[in-house]
A and B are shown apart, each in its own frame.
Chain A
């Protein structure tokens, strides 16, 4: 569907020679990151659709159009295992809070719950009537939320694999779903241009955020403290919203994003950055406060569909579409 394209796996990580990344390093110590490519992870045989670090920082999971999920070592890029089971392309993958489970969303209209240790599929969540495009756990990891091309958002009970609630309030494919840090709220974004905030307990829509001209929402997520949401729209824009007041606080531009649902992320381990992939094959890093672009990471040979930040270290993982098919790990001292 939207984030996939490419080709076969081999499953190895190529270490890059350690290089200081840019010229203006001395100045950047305090104000700019110095991410440098450390590892290129090859293994997927098709476009990679999503990369996520495990909450405990040990692993990196990548999902791909080649219908498998690969687990990598987060620090060394070492190939760990492949999770096979889906019949069609996988669009998204997410970790449970204890890093023991994974959930994956696939074009085969199902979600699968995986046990990471054993690599087994524990449950298949059936119910969506079209491609499942995005998924996430809630913080206690007793619920899974999924968004689909059937324009609905479903909430699933992890233990039983039953759908407890279907939220149908979008009029176009749902591009992203996310829980806030306390698990009380859900945010969903859709191609209809609307972001909705839901009460997780009741499934009531609490708020709808719409910008003046409503470009399709390609990605949305809560800030780590749950006070803000970051919204990516297909007009090359990232915005930081204070959703409680319904106000846009920051706008980040400069990258290219008109076609794909590109992941973005908050980087809080060093400086406070916003990190996003881009359709010009680069990874963009903005200063969260000043909105300046502080670094662009060059290396991928296709659209960087996903960029993720390590929970504790200054590590960025990025993944690209079908021309590239690799996952790259970048590290910085700041």
Chain B
């Protein structure tokens, strides 16, 4: 066994060292692999039980420091002849040279008059400057100087072994200078159009080619400005020439592009959801940086990417940094929770840049996620490096990968090592040589090592894949194991590596296994891995496996997990019970925030935490949660982390909500969640069900059981029993139903589209019942989540379509929202009012506030008045003033 294991390790190492693009590209330290290559009995880095959870640092493009030779003086013979052979470029040189000269080859397209002889070599003397204004002269000279520098660089680099990279660097520089020159005249349309025309007419062909190269580069960065510049010439030139030119300008070249596109990274196993934490508040005015967008698309090669954006308060100039940070944490956290409840077994990977990385780490302390990847890490603060004894980050349990730049200002590799020693989570560090906070390498580095940013980015991506593959294919219980298990777990690591790669290779072989069961034989460690497989499901149905897993593990798992398993099982049955279970699963999703209200308020606030997180009150709440979680999470272990949290906050008049709260909290797993129940929610869900059919099949069963309180209770137990083992007291169900409403609303926006990797087919019937006209659009919305406003637009349409039922009749929700209040509803349904009074003994609330997860635009479309201004303003609660973060006393 040991022998076989060693062999596998050897293969692993050999594969990684020999074939990966990463290896070829980078200067790596591979001590770990070398250990494996040594002897079958050689111990890996983590063999010792007390070994820290910090894996050895990996160096990307970090040039090894030259050893200090002290006595070179006369002893060492000096070789003045031998030219140190330069390494073969990492890209396809021939191809790179070909694309590099594209502009030169097609320069003729730019010529306005292709038949006229090109300007002579001494064109400069022939430029007729008479009539030029001072500004024109100045601009022309600036451009000319930039082009001359570029010319020098081209000539000087000619024939160099890494000429394409050097050319790229030079062209970028020239483009920058041209851009500066154009910016110096404020992109004055008339002036820049004149410039373009003049340059095209007068420049010699080589210079014109250089100019086109610069334009091509700029076009990728500032397309509209460049287009504005080209307008006049396009009208002059023939259509064909203009088209060819625009085609040429549309394709900026990259030396490594061929290699990188030929070696695309494969998807991660277990089809995880990749959540990108925003590193600051975003707005439509200042969209996320191009680099981040680029990375987002890169990461989408690995799995489904969901960027989580944080928006500033509307007109929230006064928002403090702390508030903003809390928003970011809250937004990400609620997204995690949402995904947990929608896809209980979907692995979640949090990725963030700098501050976003920090946010991701903090969220990973609070909620269960599979892994965290920090791209850049703000380790150094004004108060010194992070990692003091009271730093909550030290309690991280989630495997984390840090990728930092060698020249980063916010971080230092050595300080990072200290920090890594302190955190308990298994962690890896990748240092990118010569890179800054955003992992961009310097120009000098590009030149000296013949690199491009795209190559470096790919290597970073490979590192991420490497890390995540390892984490994702490990057993589910692994991460959450008790501290005492960690030793054993570490001892297993060498095998994990092998296992990981096997699994990886399986998935790499192209044809994804039809079912995860096919993966099972590949798993070397047998039954203990079953749950791991089930935790990382492929898109295929996984009913069998999960059932096995759940039955095997049932003795150890707590009630929540039991609940989860049951959900799984019911999915497997694929009856309408499945929908019920699904419903139950969604019950867990909603965070209902309990709020202290001034006495006398009789409003009911039902607030699933929105991604906007604009309500101050919620922030308060969150802060409380943060505080509560920090001390508890390390002790409670990952079981608590994994458990989806249900938060219910019901604002009812006075302290009355406190009463019903008690029984329902028993239903909530581990008492994490507070259920408060009130009659009101029942109305909502029922009315929505009966009138609009918005909620799913189980909702229609609600209709059937209409008015009688006992029937309601029966229904509730029927609904909830399968998931909670029948332990739910009836009182809780009312709020569950309320949640159900929120679910159905949210679900329409997200679930209806049916994520391709959705583990359960459950949502489908519900979606069908809603009959979204544009599921594809809402799919886009799901992937971007609450991300950008632009992308949220489809959601808006989807939701607005929700407003009208298939029959064209306004749905209950619509009605509810339009009519502005439950009171009306309640009075219109006397039977229900009766129930509510029976169930809680409370007055019918006058207001219901609905906050929907997601975009402002969604909510505003829901709003009948269409007040688009205030995101997360509750349209239904027109009773409330729009900025009422703290609810005012109800009228």
> What is the interface of chain A, defined by CB distance below 8 A to chain B?
138-140, 142-143, 155, 157, 159-162, 164-165, 181-184, 200-203, 223-228, 240, 242, 247, 249-250, 266, 268, 272, 288-289, 291
Tell me which residues across on chain A come within 8 A of B173, comparing CB atoms. Answer: 202
Chain A binder among B71-79, B662-670, B693-701, B855-863: B71-79
Q: Is the CB of B82 within 8 A of A225?
A: yes
Q: Is the CB of A227 within 8 A of B80?
A: yes
CB B166 to nearest CB in A, in angstroms, measures 7
CB B145 to nearest CB in A, in angstroms, measures 10
Q: Is the CB of A226 within 8 A of B83?
A: yes
Q: Is the CB of A289 within 8 A of B80?
A: no
- Chain A, Cβ-Cβ closest to B69: A245
Q: Is the CB of B78 within 8 A of A250?
A: yes
Given A224-B81, A227-B80, A249-B78, A201 contacting B153 (CB threshold 8 A): yes
A182–B148 alpha-carbon span in the complex (Å):
21
Q: Is the CB of B83 within 8 A of A181?
A: yes
Task: Out of B83, B152, B157, B166, name the residue touching A164 (CB < 8 Å).
Answer: B152
Between A and B, 9 residue pairs with Cβ closer than 8 Å are: A139-B159, A165-B148, A183-B158, A183-B160, A225-B82, A249-B78, A272-B81, A288-B80, A291-B74
- Chain A, Cβ-Cβ closest to B125: A162
Tell me which residues across on chain A come within 8 A of B72, comparing CB atoms. Answer: 242, 247, 249
The 9 closest A-B pairs by CB, nearest first: A223-B80, A200-B156, A201-B153, A201-B156, A164-B152, A160-B121, A142-B155, A225-B83, A140-B158
B-side interface size class: 20 to 34
A264–B83 alpha-carbon span in the complex (Å):
21
CB A196 to nearest CB in B, in angstroms, measures 16
Most A CB contacts (10 A, CB to CB) among B83, B121, B149, B152 go to B152
Q: Is the CB of A288 within 8 A of B78?
A: yes
Q: Is the CB of A140 within 8 A of B153?
A: no
Q: Is the CB of A165 within 8 A of B152?
A: yes
CB A317 to nearest CB in B, in angstroms, measures 20
Q: Check if B579 is an interface residue, CB within 8 A of chain A.
A: no
Tell me which residues across on chain A come within 8 A of B82, comparing CB atoms. Answer: 225
Q: Check if B243 is an interface residue, CB within 8 A of chain A.
A: no
Tell me which residues across on chain B come within 8 A of A159, comparing CB atoms. Answer: 121
> What is the interface of chain B, defined by CB distance below 8 A to chain A?
72-74, 77-84, 121-122, 124, 148-149, 151-153, 155-160, 166, 170, 173, 204
CB A157 to nearest CB in B, in angstroms, measures 6
Q: Is the CB of A157 within 8 A of B78?
A: no
Tell me which residues across on chain A come within 8 A of B153, comparing CB atoms. Answer: 201-202
Tell me which residues across on chain B come within 8 A of A249, comparing CB atoms. Answer: 72-73, 78
Chain A contact residues, majority secondary structure = loop
Tell me which residues across on chain B come within 8 A of A160, comparing CB atoms. Answer: 121-122, 204
A152–B156 alpha-carbon span in the complex (Å):
19
CB A160 to nearest CB in B, in angstroms, measures 4
- Chain B, Cβ-Cβ closest to A242: B72
Q: Is the CB of A272 within 8 A of B80?
A: yes
- Chain B, Cβ-Cβ closest to A185: B156
Given A140-B159, A183-B160, A201-B156, A240 contacting B81 (CB threshold 8 A): no
Besides A201-B156, A228-B80, 12 other CB < 8 A contacts?
A139-B159, A140-B155, A155-B152, A164-B149, A165-B149, A184-B160, A201-B153, A201-B166, A223-B81, A227-B80, A250-B74, A268-B81
- Chain A, Cβ-Cβ closest to B77: A289
A247–B80 alpha-carbon span in the complex (Å):
15
- Chain A, Cβ-Cβ closest to B86: A182
Task: Out of A162, A200, A266, name the residue touching B124 (CB < 8 Å).
Answer: A162
Tell me which residues across on chain B come within 8 A of A183, comparing CB atoms. Answer: 156-160
Tell me which residues across on chain A come within 8 A of B83, comparing CB atoms. Answer: 181, 224-226
CB B89 to nearest CB in A, in angstroms, measures 14
A68–B121 alpha-carbon span in the complex (Å):
28
Tell me which residues across on chain A come within 8 A of B81, comparing CB atoms. Answer: 223-225, 268, 272
Tell me which residues across on chain A come within 8 A of B78, comparing CB atoms. Answer: 228, 240, 249-250, 288-289
Q: Is the CB of A164 within 8 A of B170?
A: no
Task: Out of A201, A226, A250, A289, name the residue touching B157 (CB < 8 Å).
Answer: A201
A143–B155 alpha-carbon span in the complex (Å):
7
- Chain B, Cβ-Cβ closest to A139: B159
CB A299 to nearest CB in B, in angstroms, measures 27
Most A CB contacts (10 A, CB to CB) among B80, B83, B122, B173 go to B80
Q: Is the CB of B149 within 8 A of A268?
A: no
CB B379 to nearest CB in A, in angstroms, measures 32
Tell me which residues across on chain B come within 8 A of A201, comparing CB atoms. Answer: 152-153, 156-157, 166, 170
